[in-house]
A = this chain, B = another copy of it.
Amino acid sequence: MIKVGIIGAGRIGRVHITSITTRVPDAVIKTVADPFLNDETAAWAKSMGVEHTTKDYKEIINDPEISAVLICSSTDTHSPISVEAIKAGKHVFCEKPIDHDIAKIKEVIDALEGTNLKYQVGFNRRFDHNFESLQQAVAAGKVGKPEIIKITSRDPEPPSIDYVKVSGGMFLDMTIHDFDMVRYLAGCDATEVYVQSANLVDPAIGEAGDVDTAVITLQMENGAIAVIDNCRRASYGYDQRAEVFGSDGMAAISNDSQSSTVISNAEGVTGEKPMFFFLERYMDAYGKEVAAFIDAIVNDKETPLNVYDGLKPVLMGLAAKKSSEEHRPVKISEIME
């Protein structure tokens, strides 16, 4: 039985607490730490079978019984706590992104070096039934050699301006999931990024120095061209589609909705909107990613998404940011220098 500590009991921390409790028989949560922990959250955690709650995450770091840590705290703490946890000999599951600063991610890489510790980064979409099935179809050669990879990724509504300001920008906060997905579907890295971006949704986003709408073209190592289109607002809900076109065919996935009910009447033939947002659409994927992390520990396997899988989308995001600012194609190698 793996004893787990969870650092951060916000929205995503609570998702992981629920997943481990109900879906991961090989793990129990010993401690949940959150500097803003209130009585309600503490009581809920207890009701879920969590042994102990605290405001101090050091209690987790210093607990020799805890062998695995989930880092669900604010982004700026991801890399330092990762390093601390690794140094304390713990396996780490870290929410995305590890950091916006390459140097900080390299500190995590350095800390891992020479250990046999598992490190997994939380790109949950790889565990979604649609994206997983799409990747398997491509990897099985169902479309031949990939040539064009397309991802549509639009949020139902923009985050608060306060969040936008600390988010690292749309490419590091939102597109980063799509950058991971491009790598997952292509089975290789990108070499260059070109961004056409705009501020169309809310002028306040532009005033905060960010964009909210973009088309991002990527040259992939295997010769394929990838294109992502993003918007921070879609009136019909969370739009999460992808398509891989290749020498022998095309594989595509569409959105999930709550039911398949279609109403035909004088107004037309109307089905349901896509599920509202990531918590609705990816709840099952969150459970599967954590189960995969525990499985990697229990059975001493590679995690499905290691620290380099955490690094690469950040490089892509920084290149995208640079392309957006300098209005030219930017090579990933420019960022790594």
Q: Which residues of A approach B to under 8 Å, CB–CB?
A: 22-23, 25, 47, 129-130, 132-134, 137, 142-145, 147-148, 150, 154, 194, 196-198, 200-201, 213-215, 217-219, 223, 225, 227, 229, 231, 233-236, 239, 245, 247-274, 327-329
Contact = CB atoms under 8 A, between A and B. Distances in A.
A145 B233 CA distance: 13
Copies of this chain present: 4
Contact of A269 (B200, B270, B329): B270
Contact of A154 (B132, B154, B245, B259): B245
Contacts of A263: 137, 142-143, 249-251
A261 B272 contact: no
A260 B217 contact: no
Chain B CB within 10 Å — which of A196, A198, A247 has the most? A196
A322 to B, nearest CB: 14
Contacts of A214: 225
A217 B235 CA distance: 24
Contacts of A234: 245, 250
Given A23-B22, A236-B249, A273-B268, A198 B223 contact: yes
A147 B201 CA distance: 9
Given A231-B245, A249-B265, A254-B262, 19 more contacts: A130-B261, A133-B258, A133-B272, A147-B200, A147-B213, A148-B229, A196-B329, A213-B225, A217-B217, A233-B247, A235-B249, A236-B268, A236-B269, A249-B263, A249-B266, A250-B263, A264-B274, A269-B272, A270-B270
B148 A259 contact: no
Which of A145, A223, A260 has the most chain B CB within a 10 Å cutoff? A260
A237 to B, nearest CB: 8
B261 A253 contact: yes
B264 A253 contact: no
Contacts of A265: 142-143, 235-236, 248-250
Nearest to A216: B217
